[in-house]
Amino acid sequence: AQSVSQHNHHVILSEAASLELGCNYSYGGTVNLFWYVQYPGQHLQLLLKYFSGDPLVKGIKGFEAEFIKSKFSFNLRKPSVQWSDTAEYFCAVNNPNTDKLIFGTGTRLQVFP
Amino acid sequence: DTEVTQTPKHLVMGMTNKKSLKCEQHMGHRAMYWYKQKAKKPPELMFVYSYEKLSINESVPSRFSPECPNSSLLNLHLHALQPEDSALYLCASSQRQGRTEAFFGQGTRLTVV
């Protein structure tokens, strides 16, 4: 069975600080990997995705993530956060053969000016 | 058009009521999902429909009954719910299988009284 874990539950940063959020998944087969963001009062939006190829993927709003297959990890990074990045961030894993999209527990990011 | 539209946005129902949530997409996606999200928690997968057929039921109680009348519509029928069923119910859709991401609606905020 597939599962996703996010180790950082709540992260507090000042503007311009660098961000790295951890994500590990458990599944032996081929997976698609995603990071979604949920701004307060808004719907889930896709930040970035990995299907295959270059393990370093770039998403919207300056976010990027690196897939490390040997570590079953897909960590999210941003060199310099802004106050507007305050949101809940979810890592998600999809088995492309079953359409089963599973979310990690989420990381609440608070950025202070 | 990358929209998934959910109605109603808010719903208050009694424990003896019958109500339905509606979800619509016109992106030609063949997989549609229902998720339940409690406050400060990740979305939990409830049901997946692929090509209008129920493919995944995550052991959801029978008081929740999904229906997919056609490839663009997904309903969730509610009957005899409990107060603990109060949550944000999210609908999503994706191209079935392969390299595909899910698009989410804004959700229906359900309160059971």
pLDDT digits (tens, 9 = 90+) for A71-100: 999 999 999 999 999 999 999 998 877 778
Note the pLDDT of residue B40.
86
Note the pLDDT of residue A100.
85
The tokens describing B29, both together, are 């996606």
In this complex, the residue of A42, A46, A100 whose CB is nearest that of residue B56 is A100
**Which residue on chain B is closest to A44 by alpha carbon?**
B104
How many angstroms separate the CA atoms of A101 and B32, rounded?
A: 11
pLDDT, average across residues A33-52:
93
Min Cα distance B101 → chain A (Å) is 8
pLDDT bracket for residue A2 (50, 70, 90): confident
Q: B33 at the A interface (CB within 8 A)? A: yes
Note the pLDDT of residue A97.
78
Note the pLDDT of residue B98.
65
Which regions in chain B score pLDDT beneath 70?
Answer: 1-2, 97-98
The percent of residues above 70 in pLDDT, for chain A, comes to: 100
Min Cα distance B105 → chain A (Å) is 6
Note the pLDDT of residue A96.
77
Note the pLDDT of residue B63.
97
pLDDT, average across residues A30-50:
93
Question: Does the pLDDT at position A29 exceed 90?
Answer: no
How many angstroms separate the CA atoms of A46 and A26, rounded?
A: 21
Kindly state the helix (H) or strand (E) to which residue A98 belongs, with its residue range: none
Q: What share of chain B is helix, strand, coil (3-state, %, to 5)?
A: 5, 55, 40
DSSP B85: G
**Interchain CB distance below 8 Å, A46 and B101:** yes
Min Cα distance B41 → chain A (Å) is 6
Q: A34 at the B interface (CB within 8 A)? A: yes
